[in-house]
Amino acid sequence: MSIIQKIRPSLWNKMMKWKKSSERNFSNASIERRNTLFTEEQGRQRERVGRIEKIEVRYLGLPQDVTFVMNRDISTPYNCAQHLSGGHCKRSALALVDGNVAWDMHRPLPDNCTLQLLHFMVADPHVVNKAFWRSCSFMLGAALQNAFKEEANLQLHSFPGPNIKSGSFVHDIVLGSKTWEPTKFELRALSAEMIKLATKDFKFERLEVDHDLAMEMFKDSQYKSEQLPSISNQNQGRVVVYRLGKHIDISRGPMIASSRFLGKCTVTAAHKLADEDDKKAFYRIQGVALPTGFVLNHVTFGTLEERARKLNPARQPNEPFEELSHMQMA
């Protein structure tokens, strides 16, 4: 029996004790509907490319600088990596376009550009580390959605922009309990869900949609529906969403190339932030992780875990969203 199978019953049984609400916050049907909308729009955008035009992508890096002739709005940095070597595909977590624009590995390139492929051992890892931290927050949302049954009345609220110095990545939620205090076993179950996502090697898929489609995607999410007008107004009526497996959420990005870049990971704490009403409350779920291939001894990683248990000082979700509109756009 796996660690998830051993731990899940206590968490699941606890969720089952909570009063069932007539409001369904998410369900398999709503997840499938959201994925159908994502896939259909993804297909429409690919069809709109029309006649294939060529662009020049000047790769800068090892083993040598080289220019690729690629397809406009179709070819991605990952496709360029495929022309270099399997090693480039395996270790490249993020791209840098024209020397200063962080770019998703699976996002099509629209024009002539220079391209650098970033991994976690580059001389200045700040940009790729921020993408990793942001991706961990996104994956934590997916893990939470997978872990809780509908009876828990879970709603994903948002995740603050990545701040590596804070010591933890974060996802803020609303839960149908005002007294939830997770046990160590329950936190381990959530950590196991994160690792499970990593082993599936899901790629992060980016899609830019208009406001109306975004509202349709998230019409079953009270908090996303409230946030979307502010987000789209700041981006000329457009909203960027990402998909990992079947989990879809809003974020400006960029994200790392795949869930497989998540190595050692611990979900460390769940802090109650405030009551939402007489039945629900805001919680801040926090964790710490290392990229694949990074190894720390037990004592050192334990120090990171201890730091990650402290309440992350990022702005809280119960503050007015007008002041927080960068949260999911960060």
Tell me the whole-structure pTM to 2 decimals: 0.90
Burial (Cβ within 10 Å: 0-12, 13-18, ≥19) of residue 7? buried
Q: What is the pLDDT of residue 327?
A: 43
pLDDT tens-digit map of 79-104 = 999 999 999 999 999 999 999 999 99
- Residues 151-181, buried b or exposed e (16+ Cβ, 10 A)? bbbbbbbbbbbbbeebbbbbbbbbbbbbebe
Distances (CA, A) of 50 to 46, 68, 102: 8, 21, 27
Least Cα distance to 201 among 170, 161, 245, 242 occurs for 245
pLDDT over 90 at 319, yes or no:
no
How much is the average pLDDT of 43-51?
A: 94
pLDDT for position 305: 97
Residue 275 sits at the vertex; the CA angle it makes with 288 and 154, to the nearest 5 degrees, is 60
Extract the tokens encoding 120: 């976690």
Domain limits at 232? 126-309
Provide the number of structural domains found in the chain: 2
pLDDT tens digits, one per residue of 116-170: 999 999 999 999 999 999 999 999 999 999 999 888 999 999 999 999 999 999 9
What secondary structure does DSSP assign to 230-254, as a single string?
HHHHTTTTEEEEEEETTEEEE----
The answer to whether residue 196 is domain-embedded is: yes
Asked if 147 and 98 sit in the same domain, the reply is: no
The secondary structure of residue 218, as a DSSP letter, is: T
271 with 185, same domain: the answer is yes
| Same domain, residue pair 170 and 60 | no
pLDDT at 15: 47
Residue 163 shares a structural domain with residue 189: yes
Residues 131, 114, single domain; the answer is no
Give percent of the chain above pLDDT 70. Answer: 89
Q: Are residues 229 and 303 in the same domain?
A: yes
Q: How far apart are CA 164 and CA 307, in angstroms?
A: 12
CATH of the domain at 93: 3.10.20.30
Q: 263: domain CATH number?
A: 3.30.980.10
